[in-house]
Amino acid sequence: MSNKTVIITGANSGLGFETAKYFAGAEYKVIMAVRNVNKGETAKQELLGLFPEGEIDVFYLDLSKLATVHDFVNAFSEKYDSLDLLINNAGVMLPPYSQTEEGFELQFASNHLGHFALTGLLLPLLEKGVQPRVVTLSSIAYRSGIIDFDNLDGSKGYKGMKFYSQSKLANLLFAKELDDRLKRNGYKTISLAAHPGISSTNLFKIGKTKTPWYIKPLMKLMGQPAEKGALPTIMAATDENLVGGEYMGPDGAGNRKGNPTIEVPRATVYQKETMEKLWDVSEQATSVLYNLK
């Protein structure tokens, strides 16, 4: 075994499963952090069929419920004393409007706030790891995203795609701001972002919502299979030439598909004032304080 440990959120299907497959094959201890433990156990058995010597654990984690984030970290800490790699992969896309138990809009809560809290709580264990990294998944949808600080809970109006884009912009800004703060404070952990382009996954299947029949042919035409979509994540997690703060995506037209490469967001994306405000709002919302200035 490599003795390296990776946590992958949403590891039971789609991009998360393909990422877990790679790291199980690379002899990492793979922690599958999943919302549905039964599906997680089924995915684990599939991985063990491929890698009989694999070391794979399934833990319950619902990123939309902050209490379960704390429970997950406590459960993980009881069994493991360090962490080498955290992949913030799980996500929901275009659900009907709903608020979480804590009063947050579901996409912002699951895609951003849950991962923000998880990363902060795991940071002490990452610092004990070997060349530790955090990889947070964004999306090309971030390009149309705006952080609407006056309506984060969606109570003043909700459009699914607008709030999805907002959450994916938040993922990208968080990944960069985290790396900046880690470097300023002398941490060895680095933070990166990645996106899969347009990949055929079950991201559309939220609750009773399924991918419309007319979308599937377009996905095949414009997109790529999940195993290819996972490559930017794997590059962000393993490429030793990366220093932190980079954003990985496919190299094809519009970054929709292709081979993994470093993608440079347009100059106006990383607005320091927005990044710092998002950080403060996220600490306030989750009550997870990083102590990184």
Q: What residues act catalytically?
A: 164
**Residue 83, C-beta contacts closer than 8 angstroms, at least 6 positions apart:** 5, 6, 7, 76, 122, 125, 126, 128, 129, 132
Task: Tell me the backbone φ, ψ of residue 194, rounded to 5 degrees.
Answer: -150, 160
Q: Which of 149, 192, 197, 147 is nearest to 169 (CA)?
A: 147
DSSP class of residue 45 equals: H
Query: Which is it for strands 260-262 and 247-250: parallel, antiparallel or unpaired?
Result: antiparallel
Burial profile 113-127: b = 16 or more Cβ within 10 angstroms, e = fewer: bbbbbbbbbbbebbe
The answer to whether the Cα torsion of 196, 86, 108, 71 is positive or negative is: positive
Structure tokens at 218: 């377009």
Distances (CA, A) of 70 to 92, 107, 174, 228, 269: 20, 19, 20, 32, 31
Q: What residue has token string 């990645």?
A: 194
Q: How many residues does the chain have?
A: 293
Give the C-alpha separation, 202 to 225, whole Å: 11
Tell me the β-bridge partners of 260.
250
133, two tokens: 């990294």
